[in-house]
Amino acid sequence: MKLMIVIIRDTDDQNIIPELIRQDYRVTRMASTGGFLRRGNVTLLIGVEAEKVDAVIGLLRQTCCPPEPDHHQATIFVVDMPYFEQF
């Protein structure tokens, strides 16, 4: 299992989150601030099986608005998640 930490522009979450949910991914949205995108941003936490990481990245590439000059569409961290529990 992997945990994807995805930082996107706050204006992109309206397109991305519904599409992730539609494709049966679980996502948690957190408002965040910081210097990655130098503007309002949102951090998404997405837990996925390792083989689905590339599919989520592809979905993000398709769903994020084109970047402005000197900006990025998203910043993505993928980390191992050795333990996961829901109750």
Asked if 74 and 8 touch (Cβ cutoff 8 Å), the reply is yes
The reported pLDDT for the residue numbered 86 is 84
Taking the C-alpha atoms of residue 73 and residue 83, their distance in angstroms, rounded to an integer, is 30
pLDDT digits (tens, 9 = 90+) for 36-50: 545 678 999 999 999
pLDDT digits (tens, 9 = 90+) for 31-83: 887 765 456 789 999 999 999 999 999 999 999 998 878 778 899 999 999 99
- Can you give the length of the chain in residues? 87
List helix spans (H) across 1-87.
13-22, 53-63
Domain 2-80 has CATH 3.30.450.40: no
Pairing, β 2-9 against β 41-48: antiparallel
Taking the C-alpha atoms of residue 14 and residue 16, their distance in angstroms, rounded to an integer, is 6
The pair of structure tokens assigned to 85 is: 């529990």
Whole-prediction pTM: 0.89
The reported pLDDT for the residue numbered 37 is 47
